[in-house]
Amino acid sequence: MTDPVVIGLTVFGLAIGLGFGYLFTRLTTARRRERDGASAEDAVAGARLEAKTILVKAEDEGRAKAEAYREKEEEGLALRRLELSNLESRLGQREETLEQRASNLAQREQLLIDREEEVTRSRGDLEQLKEEARFQLEKVSGIDVAAAKAELLEQVEDEARREAMIVVRDLEVKAREEADRRARRILATAIQRLSSEVVTESTVSVIELPSDEMKGRIIGREGRNIRHLESVTGTNLIVDDTPEAVSVSSFDPVRREVARITVEKLVADGRIHPASIEEMYEKAKAEVEQSVRDAGEWALVEVGVSRLHPELITLMGRLKYRTSYGQNVLNHLVETAQIASMLASELGIDPGPVKRAALLHDIGKAVTHEVEGSHALIGAEIARRFEEDPAVVHGIEAHHNEVEPRTVLAVIVQAADAVSAARPGARRETLEGYVKRLERLESIALEFEGVEEVFALQAGREVRVMVDPGGVNDLEARELSRKIARKLEEDLQYPGQIEVTVIREFRATDFAR
Protein backbone atom coordinates (compact mmCIF):
# COMPACT_ATOMS: atom_id res chain seq x y z
CA MET A 1 0.00 0.00 0.00
CA THR A 2 1.46 3.49 -0.99
CA ASP A 3 2.15 6.02 1.81
CA PRO A 4 0.05 9.28 1.39
CA VAL A 5 2.97 11.47 2.52
CA VAL A 6 5.18 10.10 -0.22
CA ILE A 7 2.48 10.73 -2.77
CA GLY A 8 2.04 14.34 -1.51
CA LEU A 9 5.78 15.02 -1.67
CA THR A 10 5.88 13.64 -5.15
CA VAL A 11 3.09 15.93 -6.25
CA PHE A 12 4.83 18.85 -4.50
CA GLY A 13 8.05 18.09 -6.32
CA LEU A 14 6.27 18.03 -9.63
CA ALA A 15 4.74 21.44 -8.85
CA ILE A 16 8.16 22.92 -7.95
CA GLY A 17 9.56 21.50 -11.16
CA LEU A 18 6.79 23.08 -13.14
CA GLY A 19 7.37 26.37 -11.32
CA PHE A 20 11.09 26.35 -12.05
CA GLY A 21 10.34 25.63 -15.66
CA TYR A 22 7.97 28.50 -15.87
CA LEU A 23 10.50 30.75 -14.08
CA PHE A 24 13.21 29.73 -16.55
CA THR A 25 10.88 30.62 -19.35
CA ARG A 26 10.16 34.02 -17.85
CA LEU A 27 13.83 34.71 -17.31
CA THR A 28 14.55 33.84 -20.87
CA THR A 29 11.78 36.18 -21.94
CA ALA A 30 13.13 38.90 -19.65
CA ARG A 31 16.60 38.58 -21.07
CA ARG A 32 15.14 38.74 -24.50
CA ARG A 33 13.30 41.91 -23.40
CA GLU A 34 16.51 43.26 -21.85
CA ARG A 35 18.18 42.83 -25.16
CA ASP A 36 15.31 44.67 -26.59
CA GLY A 37 15.91 47.52 -24.16
CA ALA A 38 13.53 46.67 -21.27
CA SER A 39 14.54 46.95 -17.61
CA ALA A 40 16.15 43.71 -16.35
CA GLU A 41 15.37 44.34 -12.71
CA ASP A 42 11.68 44.71 -13.28
CA ALA A 43 11.62 41.54 -15.25
CA VAL A 44 13.49 39.63 -12.54
CA ALA A 45 11.32 41.01 -9.76
CA GLY A 46 8.17 40.16 -11.66
CA ALA A 47 9.42 36.70 -12.41
CA ARG A 48 10.33 36.05 -8.81
CA LEU A 49 6.93 37.23 -7.60
CA GLU A 50 5.14 35.16 -10.14
CA ALA A 51 7.32 32.13 -9.26
CA LYS A 52 6.48 32.44 -5.55
CA THR A 53 2.79 32.68 -6.36
CA ILE A 54 2.99 29.56 -8.48
CA LEU A 55 4.96 27.69 -5.78
CA VAL A 56 2.44 28.60 -3.09
CA LYS A 57 -0.43 27.57 -5.33
CA ALA A 58 1.25 24.28 -6.25
CA GLU A 59 2.04 23.57 -2.61
CA ASP A 60 -1.57 24.16 -1.60
CA GLU A 61 -2.90 21.94 -4.39
CA GLY A 62 -0.44 19.15 -3.51
CA ARG A 63 -1.39 19.24 0.13
CA ALA A 64 -5.10 19.18 -0.71
CA LYS A 65 -4.73 16.21 -3.04
CA ALA A 66 -2.54 14.34 -0.54
CA GLU A 67 -5.11 14.91 2.23
CA ALA A 68 -7.97 13.72 0.00
CA TYR A 69 -6.05 10.61 -1.04
CA ARG A 70 -5.14 9.86 2.58
CA GLU A 71 -8.76 10.11 3.69
CA LYS A 72 -9.83 7.80 0.89
CA GLU A 73 -7.20 5.23 1.78
CA GLU A 74 -8.18 5.39 5.45
CA GLU A 75 -11.80 4.63 4.50
CA GLY A 76 -10.63 1.59 2.40
CA LEU A 77 -8.48 0.33 5.28
CA ALA A 78 -11.43 0.65 7.64
CA LEU A 79 -13.60 -1.43 5.30
CA ARG A 80 -10.89 -4.09 4.98
CA ARG A 81 -10.45 -4.27 8.73
CA LEU A 82 -14.23 -4.79 9.05
CA GLU A 83 -14.14 -7.58 6.46
CA LEU A 84 -11.20 -9.25 8.20
CA SER A 85 -13.08 -9.06 11.47
CA ASN A 86 -16.14 -10.73 9.92
CA LEU A 87 -13.96 -13.44 8.33
CA GLU A 88 -12.27 -14.13 11.64
CA SER A 89 -15.70 -14.44 13.23
CA ARG A 90 -16.88 -16.96 10.61
CA LEU A 91 -13.69 -18.99 10.90
CA GLY A 92 -14.18 -19.14 14.63
CA GLN A 93 -17.69 -20.45 14.19
CA ARG A 94 -16.49 -23.10 11.72
CA GLU A 95 -13.74 -24.18 14.06
CA GLU A 96 -16.28 -24.62 16.84
CA THR A 97 -18.48 -26.69 14.49
CA LEU A 98 -15.54 -28.95 13.48
CA GLU A 99 -14.61 -29.46 17.10
CA GLN A 100 -18.21 -30.45 17.85
CA ARG A 101 -18.22 -32.93 14.94
CA ALA A 102 -14.91 -34.40 16.02
CA SER A 103 -16.34 -34.89 19.47
CA ASN A 104 -19.43 -36.62 18.03
CA LEU A 105 -17.27 -38.92 15.87
CA ALA A 106 -15.18 -39.88 18.82
CA GLN A 107 -18.33 -40.79 20.75
CA ARG A 108 -19.63 -42.86 17.83
CA GLU A 109 -16.29 -44.65 17.43
CA GLN A 110 -16.31 -45.54 21.09
CA LEU A 111 -19.88 -46.76 20.74
CA LEU A 112 -18.91 -48.99 17.75
CA ILE A 113 -15.98 -50.40 19.66
CA ASP A 114 -18.25 -51.26 22.55
CA ARG A 115 -20.76 -52.92 20.21
CA GLU A 116 -18.03 -54.88 18.44
CA GLU A 117 -16.79 -56.20 21.75
CA GLU A 118 -20.37 -57.13 22.64
CA VAL A 119 -20.86 -58.96 19.30
CA THR A 120 -17.58 -60.83 19.78
CA ARG A 121 -18.69 -61.95 23.24
CA SER A 122 -22.08 -62.96 21.79
CA ARG A 123 -20.41 -64.99 19.03
CA GLY A 124 -18.29 -66.78 21.55
CA ASP A 125 -21.38 -67.57 23.61
CA LEU A 126 -23.22 -68.73 20.44
CA GLU A 127 -20.39 -71.05 19.40
CA GLN A 128 -20.32 -72.45 22.87
CA LEU A 129 -24.08 -73.00 22.74
CA LYS A 130 -23.72 -74.67 19.32
CA GLU A 131 -21.08 -77.01 20.64
CA GLU A 132 -23.23 -77.86 23.64
CA ALA A 133 -26.29 -78.39 21.38
CA ARG A 134 -24.25 -80.56 18.99
CA PHE A 135 -22.93 -82.57 21.91
CA GLN A 136 -26.44 -83.05 23.26
CA LEU A 137 -27.73 -84.06 19.78
CA GLU A 138 -24.91 -86.55 19.31
CA LYS A 139 -25.56 -87.89 22.79
CA VAL A 140 -29.31 -88.25 22.17
CA SER A 141 -29.10 -89.63 18.61
CA GLY A 142 -26.02 -91.75 19.11
CA ILE A 143 -24.57 -90.52 15.77
CA ASP A 144 -21.56 -88.27 15.45
CA VAL A 145 -21.32 -85.27 13.09
CA ALA A 146 -19.30 -87.06 10.42
CA ALA A 147 -21.76 -89.94 10.20
CA ALA A 148 -24.74 -87.57 10.13
CA LYS A 149 -23.10 -85.53 7.38
CA ALA A 150 -22.36 -88.67 5.36
CA GLU A 151 -25.94 -89.87 5.79
CA LEU A 152 -27.30 -86.48 4.75
CA LEU A 153 -25.05 -86.39 1.68
CA GLU A 154 -26.16 -89.87 0.75
CA GLN A 155 -29.81 -88.88 1.03
CA VAL A 156 -29.21 -85.76 -1.08
CA GLU A 157 -27.28 -87.81 -3.65
CA ASP A 158 -30.06 -90.41 -3.87
CA GLU A 159 -32.66 -87.69 -4.25
CA ALA A 160 -30.60 -85.92 -6.93
CA ARG A 161 -30.07 -89.19 -8.78
CA ARG A 162 -33.78 -89.91 -8.61
CA GLU A 163 -34.64 -86.48 -9.98
CA ALA A 164 -32.01 -86.90 -12.72
CA MET A 165 -33.46 -90.28 -13.67
CA ILE A 166 -36.93 -88.73 -13.86
CA VAL A 167 -35.64 -85.97 -16.12
CA VAL A 168 -33.74 -88.47 -18.29
CA ARG A 169 -36.81 -90.67 -18.50
CA ASP A 170 -39.01 -87.78 -19.61
CA LEU A 171 -36.46 -86.65 -22.17
CA GLU A 172 -36.00 -90.17 -23.50
CA VAL A 173 -39.75 -90.69 -23.79
CA LYS A 174 -40.22 -87.41 -25.65
CA ALA A 175 -37.22 -88.02 -27.91
CA ARG A 176 -38.24 -91.60 -28.61
CA GLU A 177 -41.82 -90.60 -29.40
CA GLU A 178 -40.68 -87.86 -31.77
CA ALA A 179 -38.01 -90.04 -33.38
CA ASP A 180 -40.42 -92.97 -33.75
CA ARG A 181 -43.04 -90.74 -35.30
CA ARG A 182 -40.70 -89.24 -37.86
CA ALA A 183 -38.84 -92.48 -38.60
CA ARG A 184 -42.08 -94.42 -39.06
CA ARG A 185 -43.43 -91.82 -41.43
CA ILE A 186 -40.28 -91.67 -43.54
CA LEU A 187 -39.65 -95.43 -43.60
CA ALA A 188 -43.30 -96.24 -44.21
CA THR A 189 -43.37 -93.81 -47.12
CA ALA A 190 -40.24 -95.37 -48.60
CA ILE A 191 -41.33 -98.99 -48.10
CA GLN A 192 -44.87 -98.42 -49.38
CA ARG A 193 -43.48 -97.00 -52.60
CA LEU A 194 -41.28 -100.04 -53.20
CA SER A 195 -42.36 -103.53 -54.12
CA SER A 196 -39.69 -106.14 -54.88
CA GLU A 197 -39.78 -109.88 -55.24
CA VAL A 198 -37.81 -112.09 -52.90
CA VAL A 199 -35.21 -114.22 -54.64
CA THR A 200 -33.82 -117.21 -52.76
CA GLU A 201 -30.76 -118.97 -54.00
CA SER A 202 -28.06 -121.21 -52.49
CA THR A 203 -24.49 -122.19 -53.12
CA VAL A 204 -25.56 -125.45 -54.76
CA SER A 205 -27.26 -125.60 -58.15
CA VAL A 206 -29.37 -128.68 -58.91
CA ILE A 207 -29.57 -129.89 -62.52
CA GLU A 208 -32.44 -132.14 -63.54
CA LEU A 209 -31.62 -135.11 -65.82
CA PRO A 210 -33.92 -136.92 -68.22
CA SER A 211 -32.93 -140.26 -66.64
CA ASP A 212 -30.48 -141.81 -64.22
CA GLU A 213 -28.62 -143.31 -67.21
CA MET A 214 -27.31 -139.82 -67.93
CA LYS A 215 -25.36 -139.89 -64.63
CA GLY A 216 -23.10 -142.63 -65.99
CA ARG A 217 -22.47 -140.70 -69.18
CA ILE A 218 -21.59 -137.59 -67.16
CA ILE A 219 -19.14 -139.59 -65.06
CA GLY A 220 -17.65 -141.27 -68.13
CA ARG A 221 -15.27 -144.17 -68.34
CA GLU A 222 -13.26 -144.33 -65.06
CA GLY A 223 -14.55 -140.84 -64.20
CA ARG A 224 -12.83 -139.17 -67.15
CA ASN A 225 -15.70 -136.85 -68.08
CA ILE A 226 -16.53 -135.66 -64.57
CA ARG A 227 -12.88 -134.94 -63.76
CA HIS A 228 -12.44 -132.98 -66.97
CA LEU A 229 -15.68 -131.12 -66.33
CA GLU A 230 -14.61 -130.15 -62.81
CA SER A 231 -11.14 -129.06 -63.94
CA VAL A 232 -12.52 -126.91 -66.76
CA THR A 233 -15.30 -125.22 -64.78
CA GLY A 234 -13.47 -125.04 -61.42
CA THR A 235 -16.47 -126.49 -59.57
CA ASN A 236 -17.45 -129.71 -57.83
CA LEU A 237 -19.99 -131.96 -59.56
CA ILE A 238 -21.97 -134.03 -57.05
CA VAL A 239 -23.51 -137.23 -58.35
CA ASP A 240 -25.39 -138.97 -55.52
CA ASP A 241 -28.47 -141.09 -54.99
CA THR A 242 -30.84 -138.22 -55.76
CA PRO A 243 -32.99 -139.54 -58.61
CA GLU A 244 -32.61 -137.86 -62.00
CA ALA A 245 -30.52 -134.97 -60.65
CA VAL A 246 -26.92 -133.91 -60.15
CA SER A 247 -25.61 -130.92 -58.20
CA VAL A 248 -22.95 -128.32 -58.94
CA SER A 249 -21.19 -126.82 -55.91
CA SER A 250 -18.82 -123.85 -55.80
CA PHE A 251 -18.07 -120.87 -53.57
CA ASP A 252 -17.95 -118.68 -56.72
CA PRO A 253 -21.54 -118.17 -57.93
CA VAL A 254 -20.42 -117.19 -61.45
CA ARG A 255 -18.39 -120.38 -61.84
CA ARG A 256 -21.30 -122.36 -60.50
CA GLU A 257 -23.65 -120.79 -63.03
CA VAL A 258 -21.22 -121.45 -65.91
CA ALA A 259 -20.91 -125.08 -64.83
CA ARG A 260 -24.69 -125.44 -64.54
CA ILE A 261 -25.29 -124.10 -68.04
CA THR A 262 -22.45 -126.28 -69.37
CA VAL A 263 -23.96 -129.46 -67.91
CA GLU A 264 -27.42 -128.54 -69.16
CA LYS A 265 -26.07 -127.99 -72.68
CA LEU A 266 -24.17 -131.31 -72.57
CA VAL A 267 -27.28 -133.16 -71.42
CA ALA A 268 -29.37 -131.53 -74.14
CA ASP A 269 -26.76 -132.32 -76.82
CA GLY A 270 -26.21 -135.89 -75.62
CA ARG A 271 -22.53 -135.96 -76.64
CA ILE A 272 -20.39 -135.92 -73.49
CA HIS A 273 -16.63 -136.13 -73.93
CA PRO A 274 -13.69 -133.78 -73.20
CA ALA A 275 -13.90 -131.91 -76.52
CA SER A 276 -17.63 -131.26 -76.22
CA ILE A 277 -17.18 -130.28 -72.59
CA GLU A 278 -14.71 -127.55 -73.55
CA GLU A 279 -16.94 -126.41 -76.41
CA MET A 280 -20.02 -126.17 -74.24
CA TYR A 281 -18.00 -124.49 -71.47
CA GLU A 282 -16.91 -121.67 -73.81
CA LYS A 283 -20.49 -121.14 -74.96
CA ALA A 284 -21.78 -121.16 -71.38
CA LYS A 285 -19.02 -118.76 -70.28
CA ALA A 286 -19.87 -116.30 -73.05
CA GLU A 287 -23.55 -116.60 -72.20
CA VAL A 288 -22.93 -115.92 -68.50
CA GLU A 289 -20.63 -112.96 -69.25
CA GLN A 290 -23.33 -111.46 -71.42
CA SER A 291 -25.86 -112.17 -68.67
CA VAL A 292 -23.58 -110.42 -66.15
CA ARG A 293 -23.35 -107.31 -68.34
CA ASP A 294 -27.08 -107.35 -68.94
CA ALA A 295 -27.75 -107.67 -65.21
CA GLY A 296 -25.48 -104.72 -64.44
CA GLU A 297 -27.11 -102.55 -67.08
CA TRP A 298 -30.55 -103.64 -65.86
CA ALA A 299 -29.66 -102.47 -62.36
CA LEU A 300 -28.56 -99.06 -63.69
CA VAL A 301 -31.78 -98.65 -65.67
CA GLU A 302 -33.88 -99.85 -62.73
CA VAL A 303 -32.32 -97.35 -60.34
CA GLY A 304 -31.79 -94.52 -62.81
CA VAL A 305 -28.01 -94.14 -62.46
CA SER A 306 -25.93 -93.20 -65.51
CA ARG A 307 -22.26 -92.81 -66.45
CA LEU A 308 -20.89 -95.74 -64.47
CA HIS A 309 -17.51 -97.26 -65.34
CA PRO A 310 -17.87 -100.47 -67.44
CA GLU A 311 -15.79 -102.46 -64.94
CA LEU A 312 -18.12 -101.42 -62.13
CA ILE A 313 -21.10 -102.48 -64.23
CA THR A 314 -19.51 -105.92 -64.78
CA LEU A 315 -18.69 -106.33 -61.09
CA MET A 316 -22.21 -105.33 -60.13
CA GLY A 317 -23.67 -107.80 -62.65
CA ARG A 318 -21.65 -110.62 -61.04
CA LEU A 319 -23.67 -110.05 -57.88
CA LYS A 320 -26.69 -111.47 -59.70
CA TYR A 321 -25.28 -114.87 -58.80
CA ARG A 322 -24.32 -113.92 -55.22
CA THR A 323 -26.63 -114.28 -52.21
CA SER A 324 -26.33 -113.05 -48.62
CA TYR A 325 -28.41 -114.94 -46.05
CA GLY A 326 -30.57 -116.10 -48.95
CA GLN A 327 -31.08 -112.57 -50.34
CA ASN A 328 -29.89 -111.92 -53.89
CA VAL A 329 -27.19 -109.25 -53.59
CA LEU A 330 -27.94 -107.49 -56.90
CA ASN A 331 -31.62 -107.21 -56.05
CA HIS A 332 -30.58 -106.02 -52.59
CA LEU A 333 -28.47 -103.25 -54.17
CA VAL A 334 -31.33 -102.11 -56.39
CA GLU A 335 -33.77 -102.22 -53.47
CA THR A 336 -31.36 -100.33 -51.19
CA ALA A 337 -30.75 -97.64 -53.83
CA GLN A 338 -34.50 -97.11 -54.30
CA ILE A 339 -35.11 -96.91 -50.54
CA ALA A 340 -32.15 -94.53 -50.09
CA SER A 341 -33.44 -92.30 -52.89
CA MET A 342 -36.86 -92.13 -51.22
CA LEU A 343 -35.36 -91.38 -47.80
CA ALA A 344 -33.20 -88.63 -49.26
CA SER A 345 -36.21 -87.10 -51.00
CA GLU A 346 -38.23 -87.20 -47.78
CA LEU A 347 -35.37 -85.45 -45.94
CA GLY A 348 -34.91 -82.80 -48.64
CA ILE A 349 -31.47 -84.06 -49.79
CA ASP A 350 -30.25 -84.51 -53.36
CA PRO A 351 -31.07 -88.19 -54.09
CA GLY A 352 -28.47 -88.57 -56.88
CA PRO A 353 -25.27 -89.17 -54.84
CA VAL A 354 -27.23 -91.08 -52.17
CA LYS A 355 -28.70 -93.44 -54.76
CA ARG A 356 -25.29 -93.98 -56.37
CA ALA A 357 -23.60 -94.81 -53.05
CA ALA A 358 -26.43 -97.19 -52.08
CA LEU A 359 -26.22 -98.99 -55.45
CA LEU A 360 -22.46 -99.54 -55.02
CA HIS A 361 -22.33 -100.17 -51.27
CA ASP A 362 -21.91 -103.99 -51.60
CA ILE A 363 -19.80 -103.94 -54.79
CA GLY A 364 -16.91 -105.42 -52.76
CA LYS A 365 -18.81 -108.70 -52.38
CA ALA A 366 -18.11 -109.41 -56.06
CA VAL A 367 -14.39 -109.94 -55.28
CA THR A 368 -14.31 -110.87 -51.59
CA HIS A 369 -13.36 -114.45 -52.50
CA GLU A 370 -10.32 -113.03 -54.33
CA VAL A 371 -9.25 -110.21 -51.97
CA GLU A 372 -8.91 -110.34 -48.20
CA GLY A 373 -10.68 -107.80 -46.06
CA SER A 374 -14.10 -106.33 -45.33
CA HIS A 375 -16.36 -106.02 -48.36
CA ALA A 376 -17.16 -102.41 -47.36
CA LEU A 377 -13.49 -101.34 -47.45
CA ILE A 378 -12.82 -103.41 -50.59
CA GLY A 379 -15.81 -101.82 -52.32
CA ALA A 380 -14.68 -98.35 -51.29
CA GLU A 381 -11.19 -99.00 -52.69
CA ILE A 382 -12.69 -100.24 -55.99
CA ALA A 383 -14.92 -97.16 -56.25
CA ARG A 384 -11.96 -94.89 -55.44
CA ARG A 385 -9.87 -96.60 -58.11
CA PHE A 386 -12.54 -95.86 -60.72
CA GLU A 387 -12.66 -92.19 -59.61
CA GLU A 388 -16.04 -92.14 -57.90
CA ASP A 389 -16.99 -89.06 -55.89
CA PRO A 390 -15.37 -88.98 -52.40
CA ALA A 391 -18.81 -88.64 -50.77
CA VAL A 392 -19.96 -91.82 -52.55
CA VAL A 393 -16.76 -93.64 -51.53
CA HIS A 394 -17.28 -92.60 -47.90
CA GLY A 395 -20.88 -93.84 -47.99
CA ILE A 396 -19.62 -97.26 -49.21
CA GLU A 397 -16.86 -97.65 -46.63
CA ALA A 398 -19.01 -96.46 -43.70
CA HIS A 399 -22.14 -98.56 -44.25
CA HIS A 400 -20.96 -101.21 -41.74
CA ASN A 401 -19.18 -98.74 -39.41
CA GLU A 402 -15.64 -99.86 -40.33
CA VAL A 403 -15.28 -96.11 -40.83
CA GLU A 404 -17.23 -93.65 -38.68
CA PRO A 405 -20.03 -92.03 -40.75
CA ARG A 406 -19.31 -88.33 -41.21
CA THR A 407 -22.07 -87.32 -43.65
CA VAL A 408 -25.84 -87.55 -43.90
CA LEU A 409 -25.36 -89.55 -47.12
CA ALA A 410 -23.51 -92.30 -45.22
CA VAL A 411 -26.22 -92.46 -42.54
CA ILE A 412 -28.97 -92.74 -45.17
CA VAL A 413 -27.09 -95.59 -46.89
CA GLN A 414 -26.84 -97.39 -43.54
CA ALA A 415 -30.56 -96.94 -42.90
CA ALA A 416 -31.57 -98.10 -46.40
CA ASP A 417 -29.30 -101.15 -46.13
CA ALA A 418 -30.86 -102.07 -42.79
CA VAL A 419 -34.41 -101.62 -44.11
CA SER A 420 -33.74 -103.82 -47.16
CA ALA A 421 -32.07 -106.52 -45.08
CA ALA A 422 -34.56 -106.50 -42.21
CA ARG A 423 -37.84 -106.57 -44.09
CA PRO A 424 -39.83 -109.81 -43.67
CA GLY A 425 -38.69 -112.55 -46.03
CA ALA A 426 -35.55 -110.77 -47.17
CA ARG A 427 -33.00 -113.00 -45.47
CA ARG A 428 -32.64 -116.27 -43.72
CA GLU A 429 -29.99 -117.67 -41.43
CA THR A 430 -28.91 -121.12 -40.34
CA LEU A 431 -30.39 -122.74 -37.27
CA GLU A 432 -27.01 -122.84 -35.57
CA GLY A 433 -26.38 -119.13 -36.14
CA TYR A 434 -29.90 -118.31 -35.00
CA VAL A 435 -29.47 -120.23 -31.73
CA LYS A 436 -26.06 -118.70 -31.05
CA ARG A 437 -27.42 -115.21 -31.61
CA LEU A 438 -30.27 -115.76 -29.15
CA GLU A 439 -27.90 -117.25 -26.56
CA ARG A 440 -25.59 -114.26 -26.93
CA LEU A 441 -28.52 -111.87 -26.42
CA GLU A 442 -29.52 -113.60 -23.20
CA SER A 443 -25.95 -113.87 -21.88
CA ILE A 444 -25.31 -110.14 -22.36
CA ALA A 445 -28.46 -109.20 -20.42
CA LEU A 446 -27.62 -111.66 -17.61
CA GLU A 447 -24.29 -109.86 -16.98
CA PHE A 448 -26.06 -106.93 -15.29
CA GLU A 449 -26.66 -106.85 -11.54
CA GLY A 450 -30.20 -107.53 -10.39
CA VAL A 451 -31.19 -109.55 -13.49
CA GLU A 452 -32.77 -112.92 -12.66
CA GLU A 453 -34.03 -114.26 -16.00
CA VAL A 454 -33.80 -113.26 -19.66
CA PHE A 455 -36.00 -114.36 -22.57
CA ALA A 456 -35.25 -113.67 -26.25
CA LEU A 457 -38.48 -113.43 -28.27
CA GLN A 458 -39.55 -112.82 -31.87
CA ALA A 459 -36.41 -114.29 -33.45
CA GLY A 460 -34.19 -112.12 -31.27
CA ARG A 461 -35.94 -108.83 -32.02
CA GLU A 462 -37.20 -108.52 -28.44
CA VAL A 463 -35.49 -109.24 -25.11
CA ARG A 464 -37.48 -109.44 -21.89
CA VAL A 465 -35.50 -109.11 -18.69
CA MET A 466 -36.91 -110.19 -15.31
CA VAL A 467 -35.28 -108.36 -12.37
CA ASP A 468 -35.28 -108.73 -8.61
CA PRO A 469 -37.97 -106.29 -7.33
CA GLY A 470 -36.14 -105.84 -4.02
CA GLY A 471 -32.82 -104.89 -5.64
CA VAL A 472 -34.07 -102.78 -8.55
CA ASN A 473 -36.66 -100.00 -8.23
CA ASP A 474 -38.81 -98.55 -11.01
CA LEU A 475 -36.37 -95.83 -12.06
CA GLU A 476 -33.42 -98.18 -11.94
CA ALA A 477 -35.37 -100.61 -14.13
CA ARG A 478 -35.64 -97.95 -16.82
CA GLU A 479 -31.96 -97.15 -16.50
CA LEU A 480 -31.16 -100.88 -16.71
CA SER A 481 -33.09 -101.23 -19.99
CA ARG A 482 -31.11 -98.35 -21.45
CA LYS A 483 -27.78 -99.88 -20.36
CA ILE A 484 -28.66 -103.30 -21.78
CA ALA A 485 -29.67 -101.71 -25.10
CA ARG A 486 -26.36 -99.80 -25.30
CA LYS A 487 -24.44 -102.99 -24.50
CA LEU A 488 -26.24 -104.89 -27.28
CA GLU A 489 -25.42 -102.09 -29.72
CA GLU A 490 -21.73 -102.30 -28.83
CA ASP A 491 -21.32 -106.10 -28.80
CA LEU A 492 -23.69 -107.42 -31.48
CA GLN A 493 -24.28 -106.92 -35.18
CA TYR A 494 -27.89 -107.38 -36.26
CA PRO A 495 -30.31 -106.00 -38.84
CA GLY A 496 -33.12 -103.75 -37.69
CA GLN A 497 -33.55 -103.12 -33.97
CA ILE A 498 -33.90 -105.07 -30.72
CA GLU A 499 -36.50 -104.05 -28.14
CA VAL A 500 -35.36 -104.42 -24.53
CA THR A 501 -38.12 -104.71 -21.91
CA VAL A 502 -37.30 -104.84 -18.18
CA ILE A 503 -40.08 -106.36 -16.05
CA ARG A 504 -40.19 -105.72 -12.30
CA GLU A 505 -42.92 -107.56 -10.44
CA PHE A 506 -43.47 -107.63 -6.69
CA ARG A 507 -45.81 -110.16 -5.09
CA ALA A 508 -46.75 -110.43 -1.41
CA THR A 509 -48.25 -113.77 -0.34
CA ASP A 510 -49.67 -114.88 3.01
CA PHE A 511 -51.92 -117.67 4.25
CA ALA A 512 -55.04 -117.46 6.41
CA ARG A 513 -55.27 -120.27 8.96
Instruction: Please indicate, yes or no, if residue 142 is contained in any of the structural domains.
Output: no
Q: What is the pLDDT of residue 41?
A: 66
The domain boundary residue, chosen from 368, 388, 422? 422
Would you give the DSSP letter of residue 78? H
Task: Give kind and range of the element (H or E) at residue 58.
Answer: helix 40-141
CB atoms within 10 A of CB 207: 20
**Domain contains 298:** yes
Give the up-direction half-sphere exposure of residue 177: CA atoms within 13 A in the CB hemisphere.
6
SS (H, E, C) 109-128: HHHHHHHHHHHHHHHHHHHH
Q: Measure the CA–CA gap between 102 and 94, rounded to whole angstroms.
A: 12
For residue 65, give the 3-state DSSP assignment: helix
Contact between residue 339 and residue 191 where contact means Cβ atoms under 8 Å apart: yes
Residue at 110 is within a domain: yes
* DSSP 8-state code for residue 451: E
CB 465 within 8 A of CB 428: no
The answer on 436 and 407 residing in a single domain is no
Domain boundary among 363, 393, 422: 422
Does one domain contain both 276 and 385?
A: yes
Provide the domain limits for residue 277: 204-422
Q: Are residues 325 and 462 in the same domain?
A: no
Angle between helices 351-360 and 408-422 (to 10 degrees): 50
Q: How far is CA 329 from CA 322, 427, 487, in A?
A: 6, 11, 30
Domain co-membership, 483 together with 335:
no
Amino acid residing at 3: D
**Same domain as 374, residue 231:** yes
Please check whether residues 360 and 407 belong to one and the same domain: yes
Domain shared by 383 and 448, yes or no: no
Secondary structure (DSSP) of 235-279: SEEE--SSTTEEEEE-SSHHHHHHHHHHHHHHHHH---SHHHHHH
Q: Does some domain include residue 332? A: yes
| Residue that is last in its domain, among 379, 403, 422 | 422
Task: List per-residue pLDDT tens for the chain, 513 residues long.
Answer: 456 556 666 666 676 667 667 667 767 766 666 665 545 566 667 777 877 888 888 888 888 888 888 888 888 888 888 989 899 889 989 988 898 988 889 898 888 998 888 888 888 888 888 887 777 776 776 666 677 777 778 878 877 877 777 777 777 777 767 776 676 666 566 655 554 443 334 456 777 788 878 888 888 888 888 888 888 888 888 887 778 788 888 777 788 888 888 888 888 888 888 888 888 888 888 888 888 888 888 888 888 887 888 888 888 888 887 777 667 888 888 888 888 888 888 888 888 888 888 888 888 888 766 667 778 888 888 888 888 888 988 988 888 888 888 888 988 888 888 888 766 555 655 556 667 778 888 888 898 988 988 988 876 778 899 998 888 888 888 888 888 988 888 887 766 678 889 998 877 777 776
The answer on 289 and 308 residing in a single domain is yes
Tell me the pTM.
0.47
Domain annotation covers residue 168 = no
What is the per-residue pLDDT for 434? 66
Q: What is the pLDDT of residue 307?
A: 81
225 and 328 together in one domain? yes
Residue at 159 is within a domain:
no
For the domain that residue 380 is a member of, what is the CATH number? 1.10.3210
One domain for residues 271 and 364: yes
Question: What is the CATH classification number for the domain harbouring 499?
Answer: 3.30.300.20
**DSSP element (H, E) containing 416:** helix 408-422
The answer to whether residue 148 sits within a structural domain is no
In total, how many domains does the chain have? 3
Q: Do both 390 and 437 map to the same domain?
A: no
DSSP H stretches of helix in 304-388: 310-318, 329-346, 351-360, 375-385
Angle, nearest 10°, between helix axes 329-346 and 145-192?
110
With respect to residue 194, please indicate whether it lies within any of the assigned structural domains: no
Please indicate, yes or no, whether residues 468 and 388 belong to a single structural domain of this protein: no
